[in-house]
Amino acid sequence: MAVQWDDLKTVMHLVRARSLAAAAEALGVNYTTVARRVTRAETALGMPLFERLADGYRPTQAGKTVARKAAEMEGQEFDLMRALGQQDQSLAGRLVVTAPELLCATLLPQVFETFCARHPDIELEVRAGTGLLDLNRREADLAIRVSDDPGDQLTGLRLAGQYTASFATPDWADRIAQDPSTQVEWLVYSKPGNVPQASLGAYPNARVKLRFNDMIALRGAAEAGLGVARMPMFLGRMSDHLVQVPVLPPQPYIDIWLVSHRDVWPTARVKAFRECLVPFFRTHQALFEA
């Protein structure tokens, strides 16, 4: 009985994940399929690849060897698919783009609309999220990343530099302008977020009112008049309900990059998306500048 590639790949994912459920999620199958494939691989190879324990699957030495070799085979598979992809210069088929939710909800819908109108035969799939999809494994064709380190093994370009500033409703702005000693109630991002130090010299009467783990929710609270929030300048400027308030000087923030694998970068569909995205960012540079 010959061992099958799907079975070897399943062993590799189970070694990485240590549980049937996690391996099944990574493979996009159910856990019974994972168990069946592992058993089939063990039968074909004639040796146990895992110890079945109460807290999960522990790979044997043979299981680790299979996983390591399967990873090498998978890498060769991805190399092959990228090489073949370079030869596919059609403006039809699937294109997967990943970007943070914040950009997908604000800036990028205009780009998506332009791209879909120009290229109706390309099936655009957008994967929104802050996790970094693996471009070497073709989890996405293109990634738009807010990052100081977009990936030194990738090909890409810097779309925009960014600054942050403080924004609030016009009512809050008037209140602060009329009485600089008024208490500034801050809406801050992330658990350790505190009142920005750069604001305390001129506006020491301040406190943190609310903390958020999502920037869109933070902006929504600021728009509702709950307080002052620091956010990327493009995000505040795109709101019809917020104005910039001078309690915090603009400060440099993380750049926005477009990246892909070097083999994927020159393909027709990726080039077509760049031709929509890059001019959009160039036209809207004023949104990001201090």
pLDDT tens readout for residues 231-249: 999 999 999 999 999 999 9
Residue 262 pLDDT = 83
Could you report the per-residue pLDDT of 115-140, keeping only the tens digit for each?
999 999 999 999 998 777 777 777 88
The whole-chain average pLDDT of the chain stands at 89
- Residue 41: φ, ψ to 5°: -65, -40
Per-residue pLDDT at 80 exceeds 80: no
Residue 224 pLDDT = 97
Residue 154 pLDDT = 77
Residue 158 pLDDT = 92
Domain positions in the chain: 5-87, 94-290
What's the average model confidence in pLDDT over 270-288? 95
Q: Which of 73-77, 104-108, 268-272, 279-283 has the lowest mean pLDDT?
A: 73-77
Residue of 178, 201, 189 whose CA lies nearest to 228:
189
Per-residue pLDDT at 192 exceeds 80: no
Residue 98 or residue 2, greater confidence: 98
Q: Are 280 and 259 a contacting pair, CB within 8 Å?
A: no
Q: Residue 155 corresponds to which tokens in the numbers above?
A: 């090909």
Per-residue pLDDT at 41 exceeds 80: yes
E-strand spans in 43-201? 50-53, 56-59, 93-99, 122-128, 142-146, 155-168, 184-189
Provide the whole-model pTM. Answer: 0.70
Residue 167 pLDDT = 98
Q: Residue 256 corresponds to which tokens in the numbers above?
A: 């926005």
Q: Would you call 252 helix, strand, or coil by DSSP?
A: strand
Topology annotation, domain 94-290? D-Maltodextrin-Binding Protein; domain 2 (3.40.190)
CATH architecture of 5-87: Orthogonal Bundle (1.10)
At 255, which helix (H) or strand (E)? strand 251-260
Per-residue pLDDT at 103 exceeds 70: yes
